């Protein structure tokens, strides 16, 4: 372990003690090593004594710096693993850190693009527009075209810090997973999920590719606009994108002041979500309010603007069908069908008791049976479903976590914009149409047409295959030994070879034992030779 790692480990241990984070666990479930270490640090002061354990965890992560702040933000979306009070506290973490110096930003841009900033851009603003843990943003104009842009620059020196912190998180996760109580939280999988996410954010070429794909998917749309990426400036450490002047989606006063149709805006958020998931199978998975703006043009027909496309989600075709069935079963308030879908997906441990699982799901659904859909949060219901399934061995896939998080954002945002939003009336027709296209007669016919070239190629072989199988079947019925004889002979040969293999092993082991037990070594040599002869015989028998 390096000196830097030791220093960071000490800082983490001191922070755990300072904020009394062991209080988050019941006394009988606290790891003995952690308790012992906490007692050793008795001489260090404690703080935040009046705060709840959940808030102390939030303050602790905040004090550990940007990497842990982002980890806490990610944890806040894992409501299938964490209680609500803990998730709510972590959701308050703000990813805002002091900006790094403008000369460092300029040096990084010039190193990435291979030219002085003054040759590429005019009006470069040394004061950043925004600063976060991984990158910060400056404004400028492209010298050739005069287009206003924002330049996103990865923070210097952040990568080794992230790798060091990830290594420590992994070690802690493995220690937690060693206990039966900790294993239920799947800490190793959670840290691995975070590792993939944050390392992807370090590569701005990925974000540029994601933004270009989302922009192409919504080309000409009146619901979502993704700013243009200037690909000629794309680099791992630098991304240049069109500057936008939308209204932050959380600025309700500004939206109302310009006469924005809030009902249409809220409904379009739902449409955008379901379109990305079920039409495109490529969805912006970080659509928190800070990344969403509303165009100032046509307030009566409002359009969203999405930025920061570093995190995206995709579902497998099977997961997409399963999620569509879950949505539709919920829209129809068919809770028995919902339980069946969860059981058939394979998401739950195969050894789980299906009757107990169905009973647990019904406990989730029963309070909802007499409620109108407009009063039910589907995002929260999905969290409750995943929590219940987690008790029966389900490990939620990272893409389903992203889907759950995005749905919670969209649902909460839609009802903030327009409290009377009926999410289900907006989404149900879209889903029914998708289900009809993907699982109805037309979809089956389309799959047959798509497979037609393959079957046309194989068609000439079918008569010979049919004749060979009929001949084999007739022979098997009239003279089964003729068909099975090669298989029987093969099994006999394998059996004989295994006998010689075991005999050879026993002889060689016996020879090694006799080496120290007798005066002369010749009995040992003889046994060893006999053993090797048995092994050669085994090899000769196995060889066809």
Question: What number of H helices and E strands is found in the chain?
Answer: 23, 11
| Structural contact between residues 490 and 524, judged by C-beta atoms closer than 8 angstroms | no
Q: Specify the residue for token string 């990925």.
A: 206
Residue bearing the bigger pLDDT, 466 or 40: 40
Decide if pLDDT at 39 tops 80.
Answer: no
Looking at 218-305, list the stretches that DSSP marks H as alpha helix, in order from N- to C-terminal side.
Answer: 252-257, 262-274
Residue 306 three-state SS: strand
Overall average pLDDT of the 10-30 stretch: 74
Q: Which of 297, 282, 256 is nearest to 417 (CA)?
A: 256
Chain centroid to CA 261: 35
CA–CA separation, 277 vs 274, rounded Å?
5
Decide if pLDDT at 191 tops 90.
Answer: no
Q: What is the pLDDT of residue 215?
A: 95
CA–CA separation, 419 vs 413, rounded Å?
10
CA–CA separation, 204 vs 210, rounded Å?
10
Q: What is the pLDDT of residue 180?
A: 62
Q: Which residues contact 133 (CB under 8 A, 6 or more apart)?
A: 65, 66, 67, 69, 70, 95, 97, 155, 158
Q: What is the pTM (predicted TM-score) of this model?
A: 0.70
Q: Specify the residue for token string 């693009």.
A: 113
| Structural contact between residues 182 and 176, judged by C-beta atoms closer than 8 angstroms | yes
- The chain-wide mean pLDDT, for the chain, equals 79
Angle between helices 335-344 and 378-391 (to 10 degrees): 50
Residue bearing the bigger pLDDT, 283 or 529: 283
Give the pLDDT band of residue 209 (cuts 50, 70, 90). very high
Angle between helices 3-18 and 32-40 (to 10 degrees): 90
Decide if pLDDT at 163 tops 60.
Answer: yes
Decide if pLDDT at 221 tops 80.
Answer: yes
Q: In this structure, how many other beta carbons lie within 10 angstroms of the beta carbon of residue 496?
A: 14
CA–CA separation, 214 vs 373, rounded Å?
31
CA–CA separation, 492 vs 77, rounded Å?
59
Rounded to 5°, the CA angle 194-200-206 comes to 155
Residue bearing the bigger pLDDT, 18 or 471: 18
Residue range 228-238, pLDDT digits in tens: 999 999 899 99
Residue bearing the bigger pLDDT, 485 or 115: 115
Overall average pLDDT of the 2-15 stretch: 72
Q: What is the pLDDT of residue 293?
A: 94
CA atoms 447, 448, 449, 450: torsion sign: positive
CA–CA separation, 424 vs 299, rounded Å?
24
Residue range 135-148, pLDDT digits in tens: 999 999 999 899 99
Q: What is the pLDDT of residue 216?
A: 95
Overall average pLDDT of the 239-249 stretch: 94
Q: What is the DSSP string of 384-445?
A: HHHHHHHHTT----HHHHHHHHHHHHHHHHHHHH-TT--HHHHHHHHHHHHHHHHHSHHHHH
Residue range 301-357, pLDDT digits in tens: 999 999 988 888 888 888 888 888 887 787 777 777 777 777 777 666 666 777 787
Give the pLDDT band of residue 448 (cuts 50, 70, 90). low
Domain topology for 102-159+200-312: Transferase(Phosphotransferase); domain 1 (1.10.510)
Q: Which residues contact 516 (CB under 8 A, 6 or more apart)?
A: none
Decide if pLDDT at 467 tops 80.
Answer: no
Q: Which residues contact 530 (CB under 8 A, 6 or more apart)?
A: 504, 507
Q: What is the pLDDT of residue 32?
A: 66
CA–CA separation, 242 vs 149, rounded Å?
4
Pick the range with the lowest mean pLDDT from 218-222, 242-246, 262-266, 467-471: 467-471
Q: What is the pLDDT of residue 436?
A: 73
CA–CA separation, 235 vs 365, rounded Å?
49
CA–CA separation, 318 vs 285, rounded Å?
19
Q: What is the pLDDT of residue 483?
A: 53
Decide if pLDDT at 476 tops 60.
Answer: no
CA–CA separation, 374 vs 420, rounded Å?
8
Q: What is the DSSP string of 145-184?
A: T--EEEEEEEPTTHHHHHHHHHHHHHHHHHHHHTSHHHHT
Angle between helices 53-64 and 66-76 (to 10 degrees): 140
Domain ranges of the chain: 3-97+160-199, 102-159+200-312, 315-440, 441-478, 479-542
Q: What is the pLDDT of residue 233?
A: 92
| Structural contact between residues 156 and 110, judged by C-beta atoms closer than 8 angstroms | no
Residue bearing the bigger pLDDT, 258 or 486: 258
Q: What region, left, alpha or beta, does residue 220 occupy, with left being phi > 0 and alpha being psi -120 to 50 degrees?
A: left
Q: Which of 296, 289, 345 is nearest to 320 (CA)?
A: 345
Which structure tokens are listed for 316?
Answer: 């497998």
Counting residues of the chain whose pLDDT is more than 90, the rounded percentage is 24
* Active-site annotation, residues: 286
Calculate the dihedral angle through the C-alpha atoms of 376, 381, 382, 388, rounding to the nearest 10 degrees.
-170
Q: What is the pLDDT of residue 462?
A: 61
Decide if pLDDT at 114 tops 90.
Answer: yes
Decide if pLDDT at 239 tops 90.
Answer: yes
Residue 138 three-state SS: strand
């Amino acid at each position: 372990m390096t000196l830097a790692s030791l220093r960071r480990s000490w800082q983490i241990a001191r922070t755990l003690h300072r904020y009394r984070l062991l209080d988050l666990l019941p006394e009988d479930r606290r790891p003995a090593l952690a308790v012992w270490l906490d007692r050793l640090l008795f001489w260090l002061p404690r703080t935040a004594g009046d705060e709840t354990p959940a808030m102390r965890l939030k303050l602790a992560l905040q004090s550990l710096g940007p990497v842990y702040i982002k980890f806490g933000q990610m944890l806040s979306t894992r409501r299938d693993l964490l209680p609500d009070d803990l998730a709510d506290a972590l959701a308050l973490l703000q990813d805002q850190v002091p900006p790094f110096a403008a000369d460092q930003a300029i040096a990084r841009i010039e190193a990435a693009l291979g030219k002085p900033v003054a040759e590429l851009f005019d009006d470069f603003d040394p004061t950043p527009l925004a600063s976060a843990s991984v990158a910060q943003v400056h404004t400028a104009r492209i010298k050739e075209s005069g287009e206003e842009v924002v330049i996103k620059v990865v923070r210097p020196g952040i990568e080794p810090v992230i790798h060091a912190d990830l290594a420590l998180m992994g070690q802690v996760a493995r220690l937690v997973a060693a206990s039966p109580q900790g294993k239920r939280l799947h800490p190793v999988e959670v840290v691995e999920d975070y590792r993939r996410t944050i390392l992807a954010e370090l590569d701005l070429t990925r974000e540029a590719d994601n933004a270009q794909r989302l922009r192409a998917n919504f080309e000409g749309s009146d619901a979502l606009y993704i700013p243009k990426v200037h690909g000629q400036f794309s680099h791992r450490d630098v991304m240049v994108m069109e500057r936008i002047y939308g209204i932050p989606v959380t600025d309700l006063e500004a939206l109302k002041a310009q006469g924005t149709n809030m009902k249409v805006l809220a409904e379009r958020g739902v449409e955008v979500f379901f379109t990305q998931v079920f039409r495109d199978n490529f969805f912006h998975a970080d659509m928190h309010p800070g990344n969403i703006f509303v165009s100032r043009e046509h307030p009566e027909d409002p359009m969203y603007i999405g930025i920061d496309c570093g995190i995206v989600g995709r579902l497998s075709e099977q997961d997409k069908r399963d999620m569509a069935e879950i949505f539709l079963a919920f829209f129809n308030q068919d809770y028995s069908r919902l339980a069946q879908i969860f059981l058939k997906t394979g998401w739950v441990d195969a050894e789980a008791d299906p009757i107990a699982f169905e009973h647990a799901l019904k406990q989730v659904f029963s309070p909802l049976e007499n409620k109108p859909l407009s009063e039910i949060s589907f995002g929260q219901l999905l969290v409750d479903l995943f929590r219940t399934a987690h008790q029966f061995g389900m490990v939620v896939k990272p893409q389903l976590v992203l889907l759950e998080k995005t749905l919670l954002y969209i649902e909460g945002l839609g009802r903030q914009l327009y409290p009377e939003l009926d999410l289900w009336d907006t989404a149900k027709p879209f889903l029914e149409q998708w289900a009809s296209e993907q699982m109805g007669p037309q979809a089956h016919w389309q799959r047959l047409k798509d497979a037609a070239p393959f079957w046309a190629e194989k068609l000439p072989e079918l008569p010979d295959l049919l004749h060979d199988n009929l001949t084999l079947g007739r022979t098997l019925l009239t003279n089964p030994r003729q068909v099975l004889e090669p298989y029987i002979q093969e099994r006999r040969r394998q059996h004989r070879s295994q006998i010689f293999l075991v005999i050879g092993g026993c002889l060689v082991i016996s020879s090694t034992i006799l080496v120290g037990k007798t005066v002369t070594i010749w009995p040992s040599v003889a046994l060893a030779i006999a053993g090797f002869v048995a092994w050669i015989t085994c090899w000769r028998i196995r060889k066809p």
